[in-house]
Structure 1
Amino acid sequence: MTLTHDTTSALESPSTAPLYRLQNLTRTYRRRDALVRALDGVDLDIEAGEFVTIQGPTGGGKSTLLQMLGTLERPTAGTLSLDGEDLARVGAGRLAAVRAHEIGFVFQAFNLIPVLTAAENVDMALEPLRLSRDERRARVAEALARVGLADRADHRPSELSGGQQQRVAIARAIVKRPRVLLADEPTGNLDEQMRDEILAVLEALLDDGITLVVVTHDSAVARRAHRRLRLKAGHVQDITR
């Protein structure tokens, strides 16, 4: 069973433009009396269907860059285009719509609601989409099956292992059929075996045309990517395999 996107994948588009294009992307903020440049003039293209990892020292801007790609933060300067649309120039309503339809998020902390079942946690992501009850139920079942948890739909987080909880989090991210999946240390809380299992789940999503961007400290994860980036002091460097 595979997930299909609501819109035509950029992989199938006649356009040769990248899915993401960042030009001179800058994010500054004040810390006490100092001006911190979390991102410092980043130029970066990410192709549709690409698996990219981002590594680098703590405080180097990795999470800030991921939040920019997910429209959770606005740049101080520069351009951040998704499929040709400069998201640095649009309103909050449009950004919310992009997050609801186009982008899925997975974090190191699973961020599941303890009192809800796996199915109910996944269903939460569909609330902004205004789907029928039957469509929501079908999508939830499909997403849980996609991550190998079809038989755990009625289990609460406390009844699941750490790896299973992260699978639920991934199902929640993909249930809306996004074009992009952004993951911040998705294997950081897992042992080696579970790390490899979660990585296999994420890699399988590439077959559906999803673009995968992962922040990780784990070189074993980074080596599996199509392209490895290193972010240091707000500057991006390419690392090829």
Structure 2
Amino acid sequence: MTMTDTVPAERTPDAPATLYRLEGVTRTYTQKQRVVKALTGVDLEIGFGEFVTIQGPTGGGKSTLLQLLGALDKPTSGSISLGAAELSSASPTALGRIRAEEIGFVFQGFNLIPTLTAAENVNMALEPLGLSGAERKTRVDEALAHVGLADRGDHLPTELSGGQQQRVAIARAIVKRPRVLLADEPTGNLDESMRDEILVLLERLCAEGLTLVIVTHDSAVAARASRRLRLAKGVVTDITRG
């Protein structure tokens, strides 16, 4: 099975190379009667099929940027687009559709429902798409096989290792065939061996066409990326090519 079984090829020869475009993006909010400038004038492009990591000090704006990329929040000013969709002006309904169809999420905490099997957890991501039961089963089986868990679909999270649980979380993210996978410290709860296994899996998915953006404190993770961003005080201060 190849990545095209799980994630559709979105780019054609005539399609633009840029998946994300951010122009003058700021995000401010009020916290305990204090104005916090989480992002300050971020200009950034992320191309189709790139593997990008974001590093920086705590409070530097990394999580805020990931939320904007994930259509979970809107900028205070500036524009952010995902392909042809302008996220900064989209309606809540449109943003919900984009999250459901085009963006996969993976987190440090695996966020699996403990009373559901691996297959049922993966299937949850397909509920908003209105697919038939047969199509959903096919996609779930393919996604679990793609992350090396074809024989673990009927296992509960407590019956799986940490690395296997994160693989289930990745299967849940890719089962809807998104254009991009956003990950927040996806190896933070894993030992070095499991971390490396997950990184190899993510690199393979990226090589097969999935755009990958990871927030990480781990320099070993960042070193694997094709482009490394550093975000401090709400500003992208460094861009390093792998």
TM-score normalised by structure 1 residue count: 0.97
SS of the aligned residue for 2:217 comes to coil
Alignment-derived partner of residue 55 in structure 1: 55
- Structure 1 distance, partners of 2:152, 2:178, is 23
Match for residue 239 of structure 1? 240
Partner SS, residue 150 of structure 1: coil
Q: Which residue of 2 aligns with 1:2?
A: 2
Aligned pairs for 1:96-107 (under 5 A) are 96-107=96-107
Bigger CA drift: 104-113 or 231-240? 231-240
In the TM superposition, structure 1's runs of 4+ consecutive aligned residues that sit over 3 Å from their partners are 5-8
Deviation at 1:102, TM superposition (A): 0.4
CA distance in 2, matches of 1:144, 1:206: 17
Q: Is the aligned partner of 1:188 residue 2:188? A: yes
Amino acid at match of 1:2: T
Q: How does 1:37-186 map to 2 (within 5 A)?
A: 37-186=37-186
Deviations 1:83-102 (A, max 9, x none): 13211011011101101110
Alpha-carbon separation, structure 1, partners of 2:3 and 2:177: 7
Letter in 2 for 1:240: R
Give the RMSD, CA atoms, in angstroms.
1.2
**Amino acid across the alignment from 1:60:** G
1:131-180: CA deviations, max 9, x gaps?
11111001000000000001110000000010000000000000001010
Q: Is the 8 A contact 1:54 1:62 kept in 2?
A: yes
Q: Distance in 2 between matches of 1:200 and 1:17?
A: 25
Q: 1:17, 1:83 within 8 Å by CA — same for their partners in 2?
A: no
| Distance 1:234-1:19 versus aligned 2 partners, 3 A rule | same
Letter in 2 for 1:205: L
Sort the Cα spacing of 1:8 and 1:165 in 2 relative to 1 into closer, same or farther, 3 A.
closer
Q: Percent identity?
A: 66
CA distance in 2, matches of 1:160, 1:6: 25
Please give the per-residue CA displacement for 1:88-142, whole angstroms capped at 9, x wherever unaligned.
Answer: 0110111011011100000000000000000000000000111111110010000
Distance 1:58 1:208, change over 3 A: same
Change (3 A) 1:204 1:17: closer
CA distance in 1, matches of 2:84, 2:56: 28
Q: What letter corresponds to residue 130 of structure 1 in structure 2?
A: G
The alpha-carbon deviation at position 3 of structure 1 amounts to 3.2
Displacement after TM superposition at 1:15 (Å):
3.3
| SS, match of residue 151 in structure 1 | coil
CA drift of 1:17 comes to 4.7
Taking the aligned partners of 1:50 and 1:139, their CA distance within structure 2 comes to: 24
Aligned residues: 240
Q: Following the alignment from structure 1 to structure 2, what is the Cα–Cα distance between the partners of residues 14 and 218?
A: 37
Alpha-carbon separation, structure 1, partners of 2:172 and 2:121:
7
Amino acid at match of 2:103: I
**TM-score, L = length of structure 2:** 0.96
CA distance in 2, matches of 1:192, 1:240: 24
Segments of 5+ residues of structure 1 without an aligned counterpart are none
